[in-house]
Chain A
Amino acid sequence: MEVTIFIHAADDAFRILEKAKARAVGLLDTATNLTSETRWMREKKIQAILKGAQETKSGFQNFVATFVMLMVFWALLSGKFDTFHLSLGVICSLIVAYLSHDLLFANVRVGDGRLIAQRFLRYIPWLMREIVTANFHVAYLALSPKMPIDPQIITFRTKLESDISWVTLANSITLTPGTITIDIEDREFMIHALDRKVADDLDTGEMEDRVAHIFMEADHIYIQDVLDVSRIFAELKRGM
């Protein structure tokens, strides 16, 4: 009797150990898989970014892209779609595209254009809300008899890299409540804020993160990493 119980117990113990071993092996496998995958993806991404900074599209591609954009603009402006006016439009677009084909796409970074456009469109409603808030803030300040302002100048360093994202950030700062961008020098933003509170709000860096998210910069790589690691954590939790 006792022997059979002992044998059963030993069997159970072995089975549990076996299961634990299998689970541990699976866990280690996924972990190595994921890390190697992450590293590979990260290397590829860094390579793409480094290459994108140096690589410029050929002049002809830029010319064609500029021409198409200008032609669409012309058609919307003119509103006459007969042959004569369209051919005028083609000639004018060719002239302008020849004069300034390297202006519109001066430093394009690598990245999915459609995704950037999508994210930019999703950024606009948030910006609109901020602008409306900003206007009510200004209206309150202008109409209140005592005018509770305490202006100060703050500076902060940005982690953004390309000029277009700097411009987006600077113009967003100018349009949001209580702050205007005065100067950018060496990634150092100089901001004029109406009081201490808005300056502190800006220092949290929410807007910078949003802009970085749009143009897939700086923290984008880190976010990707965090997402990968979270998968490993989930696996670990399931295993326990």
Chain B
Amino acid sequence: MAYIVEALSIVCILGGLFFFMTATIGLLRFPDFFTRLHATGKGDTLAVFLCLLGFAIHEGLSLTALKILFIAVFMFLAQPTATHAISRAGIRHGLKPWVKGEERQ
């Protein structure tokens, strides 16, 4: 039983690491600011959630696990909001979105 729980938490954390990696690669490879926000805004949310889920499973039923889930809920609300705030500031500042065929910034 203990092995199954450990394996489950390891799988969750590995999934989180994979999505962190794809988010980072997206951040490095995408052509402009708005498309890069697609990578971080979505990728980091799920990655953080998966990692925290893995920790909570590893922790078992306790107050610490509950606090970890609090962080997960907080990140779920905060990450899209932060993404939205930055992108809004960008478009108000006068940043032009990249269109197909242009040179990457």
**Are chains A and B touching directly in their complex (CB below 8 angstroms)?**
yes
Chain A residues with CB under 8 Å of B2's CB are none
CB distance from A191 to the nearest CB of B (A): 10
Chain B residues with CB under 8 Å of A175's CB are 41-42, 45, 80
**A76–B63 alpha-carbon span in the complex (Å):** 7
How many residue-residue contacts, CB under 8 A, span A and B? 103
**A151–B91 alpha-carbon span in the complex (Å):** 15
In the complex, what residue of chain A is closest to B23 when comparing beta carbons? A138
Whether, in the assembled complex, B11 has its beta carbon less than 8 Å from a beta carbon of chain A, the answer is no
Interface secondary structure of B, over-half rule? helix
A: interface residue count bin: 20 to 34
Chain B residues with CB under 8 Å of A152's CB are 97, 99
With known contacts A139-B22, A178-B38, A182-B88, A151–B99 Cβ distance under 8 A = yes
A interface residues, Cβ below 8 angstroms from B: 76-77, 79, 131-132, 134-135, 138-139, 141-143, 147, 149-153, 170-171, 174-175, 177-178, 180-183, 190, 192, 194
B interface residues, Cβ below 8 angstroms from A: 18-19, 22-23, 25-26, 29-32, 34-35, 37-39, 41-43, 45-47, 63, 66-67, 70, 77, 80-81, 83-84, 87-88, 91-92, 97-100
User: Knowing that A138-B26, A171-B84 are A-B contacts, what are 14 other residue pairs whose CB atoms are under 8 Å apart, sorted by A's residue number?
Assistant: A76-B66, A79-B63, A131-B45, A132-B46, A138-B22, A139-B22, A142-B22, A142-B25, A142-B26, A142-B39, A143-B22, A180-B38, A181-B87, A192-B34
